[in-house]
Amino acid sequence: MTKEFRGSHTVAVTPFNDDGTDIDIGRLNAFLDWQVECGVPGVIMLGTTGEFLTISADERRRLVDATVRHAAGRYSVMVGTMDAYTPRAAAFSRQAQDLGADGLMIIPPYYYTPTDDEIHEYYRAICAATDLPIMLYNNPVTSNRDMPAALVARMTAEFPQIRYIKEASMDVARVFDIVEATHGVMNVFAGERPVESFLLGAVGYVNPYGNYLPYATRRLWDLLVEGRVRDATRIQHLVHRFDMIIAEGHPTYGHQCYSKALAAARGYPVGDVRAPLTKFGSLGEEGRTKLKQIMAVFEEIDALMVDIDARSSDSAMDKRAA
């Protein structure tokens, strides 16, 4: 039976050993247990945050296999199976299915700037190779193509497996456009600005911050579903504050080394990033200073969560008493 995906799914880092020469399954399992403890409903492996472009074929197989085996029904597993070469993307997708993944997240072919028809045929080939549900991944920054709502609607109508999309075009209104163009059939996951995306019709969040704030950012989405938009917005404002600390003066996607450094600071070491990405250690004093600034914001978030959870508990007790 096909799973229904909802809520905040962590788009996970790939844990490496200390010298970055191999994936580290022990660290992966500890990281995944932390996600479960924080109530995260699912993880997405080998997305952009997972450094999929640096992963060997053998590492891919071992990582997906270990993630699925460790899940044991406790969380959903989606896998990034994109590639610039269509047959390879199809093969990765079939492999993920054979290893027991619950779904796939797939960006269009990158580098080539494909036409709408080329994107359509790419997904057609993948759908022919697997039965798994597919989440389109619209990220013009990395793929050099923005999939418009009309193209999304075309593929939603033709391919029954395509029922999800991570919308990361930086145009939050696109969430509404996709829901409208697909007559509500497409399930949109926020790629950024989760509060605004939810209000425009998103049903979930592909969440990079879950790598180091899994509980707060999972609760952010749950609060939206509960109608507590003000509380969710307070969390989002604090997330935006530390995100700006990372982004200031740093290269595009340099945040990945911070994701790993922050996971370690929260007690879950996952190694550093692989070249050509900027390693956290190379940032020197800049990195150490920013890490301290970010951890100070985390203290505010943790305190906010204590307050939110206390009010949630009081409300639940009042309902039971009534």
Q: Measured at the alpha carbon of residue 292, what is the angle toward residues 264 and 9, in degrees to the nearest 5?
A: 45
Cis peptide before 276 (omega within 30 of 0): yes
Tell me how crowded residue 119 is: count the other CB atoms within 10 A of its CB: 19
Q: How far is CA 215 from the centre of its chain?
A: 14
Give the CA diameter of the chain.
Answer: 62
Of 37, 16, 65, 11, give the one whose Cα is nearest residue 264: 16
Contacts of 244 (CB under 8 A, 6+ apart): none
Helix (H) or strand (E) holding 228: none
The alpha carbon dihedral of 123, 125, 126, 127 has a sign of: positive
Tokens of 37: 């403890």
Catalytic site positions: 137, 166
Report in angstroms the alpha-carbon separations of 226 from 34, 220, 221, 238. 24, 10, 9, 20
